[in-house]
Amino acid sequence: MILIVAEHTAGKLAKSTLEMVTAARESGREGPVTLLVLGQNVAAVAAEAAAVADQVLVADLPALAAYNAEVWAAATTQIAQEGEASVVMIGGSRSGREYAPRVAVKLDAPYLEDAIKLSSNGAALQAQRYTFLARVTETVEADGTVVVTVKPGSFAPAAPAATPGEQYDVELDLPAPRVQVTGRSVEKSSRVALTEADVIVTGGRGVGNPENFARYVEGLADNIGAGVGATRAVVDAGWRPYAEQVGQTGKTVQPKAYIALGVSGAVQHLSGMGKSKNIIAINKDAEAPIFKVADYGIVGDINEIVPALIEASRK
């Protein structure tokens, strides 16, 4: 079987899970596409999972109420071994890329990390992935049972099948978590999630100050129904929460349109948004590297152009 560990938040299956189902079907590996749902009170998630997968394995346990790398790795490994999985697919999220290497070590399996494309080359599973801050696309392959993480946004989400897959409850033997979470700050936004947004408006240092960020970046985003992103510099300066950060150490996005306001375009930022379908840049510095990757660029003052843009987009 092809084992996929479902990603879900707040009782809903994440888009990344649907993308992994597509990745599994494109991988060329045989066997039922099996979604493993780990969590507590996950009946609704399991039902959603059944709509897209050949079968669903559900571990609904108090011990799985909160994510822990060692617990998730143990659960995934156990199911992969019992089901003789030929591919173990894990989301390319922060948490996924944290426990997937553990699963690879436990299974003594090769690990293909952050795949953007999957195919079979004879017995080998072949993956494409970005390297060198997303400037190079590399192709790697491995034989036998392979652990793969899948980069969010790289595959089309799978549509529900005609007949839902069967659901089975599974028993797990889990280790006690050693990392204790002593505090938590969840960054919530009423706007569309960055990794799921079709249009993103991002602000950089060039926006000037937090008030301008709210006025221009959020103002424009809300006007056109876009998500809000920020550069590392803006997050480090405390203007914006980390959840909005786009780039090497933040989120990777590839929306239909990425509108960068006052963003200079450092390599680390470009690695997080350079694959966007359309890039629009507004910056007063004509030499800013962002213009090199822009489809549309305006050299000018944010303070003048963005209000005009907000005004014009209202009409």
Partner 1 sequence: MNILTLVRQVPDAEARVKISGQNVDLEGATLVIDGMDEYGVEEALRLRESGAPVEQIIALAVGPKKVEDALRTSLAMGVDRAIHIETDEKFDAVTLSRVVAQVAQAENVSLILVGGQEADWDSQALGAASAERLGWPQLTWTNELKIDGDTITGRHDVDDGNESFSAPLPAVVTTQQGLNEPRYPTLPNIMKAKKKELRKEDPAAYNLSGKVRMVGAEIQTRARRNTMIDGKDPQAAAQQLLELLRNEAKVIA
Residues between 47 and 76 that touch partner 1 (CB under 8 A): 67, 69-70, 73
313 counts as binding partner 1 under rule CB under 8 A: yes
Q: How far apart are CA 76 and CA 287, in angstroms?
A: 49
Residue 167 Cβ, how far from partner 1 at the closest point, in Å?
A: 25
Q: Which is nearer to partner 1, 163 or 180 (CB)?
A: 180
105 counts as binding partner 1 under rule CB under 8 A: yes
Q: Are 83 and 1 in contact (CB under 8 A)?
A: yes
- CA-nearest of 202, 176, 215, 185 to 64 is 176
The values of phi and psi at residue 129, to 5°, are: -150, 160
For partner 1, the binding residues in 115-134 under the rule CB under 8 A are 121, 124, 126, 129-134
Residue 252 Cβ, how far from partner 1 at the closest point, in Å?
A: 10
15 counts as binding partner 1 under rule CB under 8 A: no
287 counts as binding partner 1 under rule CB under 8 A: no
Question: Which of helix, strand or coil describes residue 204?
Answer: coil
Helix (H) or strand (E) holding 47: helix 43-50
Structural tokens at position 260: 């960068």
Sign of CA dihedral 252, 258, 262, 267: positive
Q: Which is nearer to partner 1, 122 or 162 (CB)?
A: 122
Q: Are 109 and 145 in contact (CB under 8 A)?
A: yes
Name which position in 15, 32, 51, 106 contacts partner 1 (CB under 8 A).
106
Structural tokens at position 234: 């803006």
Q: How far apart are CA 214 and CA 37, in angstroms?
A: 38
Name which position in 62, 122, 171, 185 contacts partner 1 (CB under 8 A).
185
Q: Are 203 and 231 in contact (CB under 8 A)?
A: yes
Q: Which is nearer to partner 1, 95 or 167 (CB)?
A: 95
* Centroid of chain to Cα 189: 17
8 counts as binding partner 1 under rule CB under 8 A: no
211 counts as binding partner 1 under rule CB under 8 A: no
For partner 1, the binding residues in 223-262 under the rule CB under 8 A are 224, 232, 236, 241-243, 248-249, 256-257
Name which position in 173, 181, 190, 238 contacts partner 1 (CB under 8 A).
181
199 counts as binding partner 1 under rule CB under 8 A: yes
Residue 257 Cβ, how far from partner 1 at the closest point, in Å?
A: 4
Q: How far apart are CA 202 and CA 204, in angstroms?
A: 7
Q: Which is nearer to partner 1, 135 or 159 (CB)?
A: 135
138 counts as binding partner 1 under rule CB under 8 A: yes
102 counts as binding partner 1 under rule CB under 8 A: yes
Q: Which is nearer to partner 1, 54 or 114 (CB)?
A: 114
For partner 1, the binding residues in 146-175 under the rule CB under 8 A are none
Residue 288 Cβ, how far from partner 1 at the closest point, in Å?
A: 12
Name which position in 13, 24, 87, 109 contacts partner 1 (CB under 8 A).
109
Residue 117 Cβ, how far from partner 1 at the closest point, in Å?
A: 11
Residue 50 Cβ, how far from partner 1 at the closest point, in Å?
A: 24
Can you list the pairs that 232-241 forms with residues at least 24 positions away whose Cβ atoms lie under 8 Å?
Answer: 232/266, 232/268, 232/269, 233/204, 233/205, 234/203, 234/204, 234/205, 234/207, 237/205, 239/209, 239/210, 239/213, 240/203, 240/210, 240/213, 241/187
29 counts as binding partner 1 under rule CB under 8 A: no
Q: How far apart are CA 89 and CA 104, in angstroms?
A: 11
Q: How far apart are CA 86 and CA 144, in angstroms?
A: 7
